[in-house]
Amino acid sequence: MTDDSLSSHLHEMDLSPDSAFTAQANGTADLYDAAAADHEAFWAEQARSRISWATDFERTLDWDDAPFAKWFVGGSLNVAHNCVDRHVEAGNGDRVAIHFEGEGGDTRTITYADLQKEVSKAANALESLGVETGDRVAVYMPMIPETVFTMLACARIGAPHSVIFGGFSAEALHTRIADAEAKVVVTTDGQWRRGKPAPLKAAVDAAIHHGDDESPVEKVLVVKRTDTDVEWDDSRDVWWHDLVPGQPDTHEAQPMDSEHPLFILYTSGTTGKPKGIFHTTGGYLTQAAYTNAVVHDVHPETDVYWCTADVGWVTGHSYIVYGPLANGATQVLYEGTPDTPHQGRWWEIVEKYKVSILYTAPTAIRTFMKWGADIPAKFDMSSIRVLGSVGEPINPEAWLWYRKHVGGDKAPIVDTWWQTETGAIMISPLPGVTTLEPGSAQKPIPGISAEILDDDGNPFTEPEKVGYLVLTKPWPSMLRGIWGDPERYKETYWSRFGPKYYFAGDGAKYDEKGNIWLLGRVDDVMNVSGHRLSTAEIESALVSHPSVAEAAVVGAADETTGQAVCAFVILRGDAVDNGEETVQELRNHVAKEIGPIAKPRQVMIVPELPKTRSGKIMRRLLKDVAENREVGDVTTLADSSVMSLIKEGMSSGSSD
């Protein structure tokens, strides 16, 4: 689609709410008014209407020790009870909680009654290994039901879990285990990746024996998933199948204080040391349940919901384990990759389970675009009624492709902005309420307050001016700090514009309609000759070219301009690479779309981009290439050989 036809198509489309959808939508326009009228009363209502409390709270928000918040003070509850037991007690035990689809085609159907028994057995097993309330448990597992059982079992006991993505190295695992002082690690012998087993427990062993430090780990509980050979320590290691199935299938969930830590999740830090973001019980669960209901529009009685994220990331915490299960939803849990054993695997799953709500990442959507629309066309996806996007800004062309080829030109798309730190969705359209704007997350959801500030910390509303996104009021699912480092928490999130603004670290702008457009991390906002340029904006311009399937842009140091634009581009399968001619065409295309200042110094045509297994593009590695440095750690990549291919293709560049 050319730029002109894209613009014309967007202009002609009617993206206002469908009246039939609006009539049944969970989200309503009234929510905005209620939240604006009384911020605390609004959140108190969400907490009491969506969550079961063992003890009601006495105070909605304690902000006396800002920026350290306490929400629903005096209240107590158990997260696992809210996500499992209360649905069984309400007579919905026969409702399917999880349709599990293994990479190799093995399946399991787990009802809420089944889930209650499995979580109870896992909780009893963890307690038999010495886990008590307050102990930390590290979880290093693939996308299998036992991972969900383990997380909920920890919540049941009140033992904060630290889920560590299965793609992380032993070194990264060691750092996270040590920082959290994890008493027990739950893992698997291996995990399936594209039909082949890859070891997992071996990394746990290496992490525990790392260096001279004494490990805090006392026990390792191991699920047999791939029959991978493992080293075994009889004094420490325990097979899941030897311990868990024989446990009692009942377990009394103890109420926890609303501010009791629920989990720690590590995210990259600018200092090189990962930050242990921790979330607590009552506020986090309230906002996860609320947003899953009003943004994804989940109706538990009729919907089949599928979030394609990995539980190793916050999206998997909030929108696989906690939000949907708190709402009593039926969902799909898929272990494998989108192209195993074929490129129509996802759409096959949508057809099989009649998935009605799909929540995925723009990177996945652009990959499907590259593979071609003929693949989803082979499957019946008429069940889809809501689509969601998460993880990075989605360019308008990918948005339109997603709606047309996955959503049948009818499903509203909720483009959601949030972070590990925010815990739940913050900025997003509400389906059935919002007139959609492809490529924009649009406006804060009811109950959230955000502004865009200039360099001096002043709010502005002028369209197209680039600034810094900040949050101006506390929200229930906000991080409560960095584990063990309160000063780093204050310095990282509350110092850039003074203590009254949470600085998200993202650049943003308004359009002429007042919609917010996210422009990526501030370190992804380049300063070229004094002009602030967004990498996301340049990527979107490149992808709007008919030859381009996917693009990643980084700012590389430049003696003349401070930073220069360097682009890495994957061409569509039917596009012809004419070498320097193609490079110049793409450079000129960006200049036409954004302006001469945004014209890339270099465009490198590459076969693939470096991505983690969750689909996130590792731009720091591309920056290493662009600045001719030794490439950094590639252990988190789905395919580490990609960087070698990129370096070999460096000759396709221009620097005039």
What are the beta bridge partners of residue 468? 453, 507
pLDDT band at 652 (very low <50, low <70, confident <90, very high): very low
CATH numbers and ranges of domains, the chain: 79-328 (3.40.50.12780), 338-448 (3.40.50.980), 449-521 (2.30.38.10), 529-648 (3.30.300.30)
Q: Which residue has the tokens 């221009």?
A: 654
The mean-pLDDT minimum among 88-97, 201-210, 349-358 falls in 201-210
pLDDT at res. 10 = 64
Please determine, for residue 656, whether its predicted confidence score (pLDDT) is greater than 50.
Answer: no
402-431 pLDDT tens trace: 999 999 999 999 999 999 999 999 999 999
d(CA 390, CA 427): 11
Mean pLDDT of 57-83: 98
Contact 267, 277 (CB under 8 A): yes
Q: 3-state class of 31 per DSSP?
A: helix
Distances (CA, A) of 616 to 21, 48, 508, 619: 32, 36, 20, 9
In terms of DSSP bridges, do strands 525-528 and 184-188 run parallel, antiparallel, or are they unpaired?
A: unpaired
Q: How are strands ordered across the β-sheet holding 413-415?
A: 107-111, 96-101, 330-334, 304-307, 357-360, 386-389, 413-415
pLDDT at res. 211 = 76
Q: What distance lies between CA 534 and its chain's CA centroid?
A: 21
Pairs from 129-134 (Cβ < 8 Å, separation ≥ 24): 129/184, 129/218, 129/219, 129/221, 129/238, 129/243, 130/183, 130/184, 130/218, 130/219, 131/157, 131/159, 131/183, 131/184, 132/157, 132/159, 133/157, 133/158, 133/159, 133/254, 133/256, 134/158, 134/159, 134/160
d(CA 119, CA 96): 15
Q: DSSP letter for 246, please.
A: T
Please determine, for residue 76, whether its predicted confidence score (pLDDT) is greater than 70.
Answer: yes
pLDDT at res. 653 = 41
94-149 pLDDT tens trace: 999 999 999 999 999 999 999 999 999 999 999 999 999 999 999 999 999 999 99
Residues of the chain with pLDDT > 90, as a percent, come to 76
pLDDT band at 3 (very low <50, low <70, confident <90, very high): low
d(CA 28, CA 431): 9
pLDDT band at 651 (very low <50, low <70, confident <90, very high): very low
Distances (CA, A) of 72 to 50, 341, 530: 13, 47, 46
| Residue-averaged pLDDT of the chain | 92
pLDDT at res. 268 = 65
